[in-house]
Chain A
């Protein structure tokens, strides 16, 4: 019997997630109290500059952070009514690749170089279905064809594939068991622009066909505009703004989000990349106790450098912002 999300309870609910990397010379605060919710069939974009903690959040959901040095210090990740962080390893293993799967950032290194692509896909299938090797291979061939690779390339090795084809294989592998939740970590960053568009289109089609929820990590606001219903802006391991794509594109409230957009682009501008914001993200080993963006923010006041801003709810639900200016703007609608 499958457990499904009950009414009122989110399909995925991340509560107060804290991830640290304990290295020899420092403790890196990669994720600091992140809360995120995701409904069934929804696509959530995680946007933020490099080192913001996006990959760390996604890997926490599957519990595949490199340990050592990574440690999940705190938090709950509710998925289908179960707290993944409290499940025994064996149970998590049965979820990985089956109910939740992940597309990794770099297709060039995500595949095992000495196994055929087909066997890598059918490995995932056989792990979660008690079927014969031959049947699993048949399904793997089908998956390859679904992502637009001829089935006869089943016995090829990754080195015989181009980058775009490797990414398709990675996607085929992630979708092989028809996951309910897909974590796509910059699925197109390593690809050139034409192939990017193809891969995105394919992901969208597949999402429609399989009805999966997606967390899409990206630097690229154009991709967010195209793919996502909800957006979370991540800065220094925190969600600084969360809302529907419309909210973020047209009524953004956080200065960092503004910075990301530069000045004008709207939801209709598709290929706008991150504009550089002056200054640098604070050192995650040594975070300030006030607002983390205060050092770079054009509107910084005394309050920003002396107290830590809480999440503020904006008028249009479910739009939230971590900024004192928003509280003033929204008239203290907490």
Chain B
């Protein structure tokens, strides 16, 4: 995880270095764009130092929890992120749950009725969603549920209902992927012998499908969900913009537009860290769901312990 984050920061430093544009120009009002003013700003921000020095200095501060100060607003990036991230996190989280809750049953139903009308309809619906641009879907939702029906608010998140439309917007990012993955891994599982065994025991069909087959089909589905969380984080950008939510994604875009390097760096670093943690959680979920993985992990630990013990014994 640490090397990944170091690389992420380095990459952004390099990208900033090679992209044209100067933060001093956005900080200074355009009538004071003189050589010496610009040089003064550069000096203040430490932009004259070589890239490696800046990189190491940034990391040193970041380790202590200081992600720098915004060039434009002069506020602490750490504080701003702490304030804005909860919105983004909630939208991402709710949207992932929505995608799972809709996508998995869709996939299971499609698999159970393979090649029938039901199958085609659910594949069609998921294709429809995947080919719909997020922003357009967001506008449709806002118009229908917000304006026409007046059920849900279209701006802000003063109440929990404000999260529904933005989350739904983001949910379609991975709905189709989850549906398709569920369908294909269920198709594989429902042909397996152990499914027939479960039926032969007298188990009811629902338990056979959801209790036995789906549990076995979960691993690849979890992988798809895990890798799509990054896309969901990205998707919140559209949702936060359209539904005016003061979240992290919006903060980052403002930073990008203003060449506010600390804001962009801090946000990206933070989101990358979150993503790394999510991936670790996904690995843990694998082990919880699948005893085969759990047993393998335990064996590795045991053999590690054994070799260590053997080495110690040899040393003694």
| B-binding residues in A (CB < 8 A) | 59, 62, 64, 66, 93-98, 101-102, 104, 106, 109-116, 120, 123-124, 127-128, 157, 159-160, 170, 173
- Output the least CB separation between A134 and chain B (Å): 19
Known: A93-B202, A97-B200. A157 touches B291 (CB 8 A): yes
Give the complex CA separation of A14 and B212 in angstroms: 31
Residues of A within 8 A of B201 (CB): 96-97, 101, 123-124, 127, 173
- Output the least CB separation between A124 and chain B (Å): 4
| A-binding residues in B (CB < 8 A) | 191-194, 196-204, 212, 215-216, 289-292, 295
25 A-B contacts, Cβ less than 8 Å apart? A93-B202, A94-B202, A95-B202, A96-B200, A97-B202, A97-B203, A104-B197, A109-B192, A109-B193, A110-B194, A111-B194, A112-B216, A113-B292, A114-B215, A114-B292, A116-B291, A120-B197, A123-B203, A124-B202, A127-B202, A157-B291, A157-B295, A159-B291, A160-B295, A173-B197
Q: Across chains A and B, which 4 residue pairs bring their CB atoms closest together, nearest first?
A: A97-B201, A96-B202, A97-B202, A109-B193
Chain B residue nearest to A155 in the complex (CB)? B291
Give the complex CA separation of A170 and B193 in angstroms: 12
Give the complex CA separation of A299 and B143 in angstroms: 82
Known: A106-B193, A111-B194. A64 touches B292 (CB 8 A): no
Residues of A within 8 A of B202 (CB): 93-98, 124, 127-128
Beyond A112-B198, A159-B291, 12 additional pairs, beta carbon < 8 A: A59-B196, A64-B199, A96-B200, A104-B196, A104-B197, A110-B196, A112-B197, A113-B292, A114-B289, A114-B290, A114-B291, A173-B197
Contact check, B295 vs A159: say whether CB atoms are below 8 A apart.
yes
Give the complex CA separation of A111 and B10 in angstroms: 50
Contact check, B200 vs A112: say whether CB atoms are below 8 A apart.
no
Give the complex CA separation of A170 and B196 in angstroms: 12
Chain B residue nearest to A107 in the complex (CB)? B193
Contact check, A102 vs B200: say whether CB atoms are below 8 A apart.
yes
Residues of B within 8 A of A124 (CB): 201-202
Chain B residue nearest to A98 in the complex (CB)? B202
Contact check, A109 vs B199: say whether CB atoms are below 8 A apart.
no
Chain A residue nearest to B218 in the complex (CB)? A114
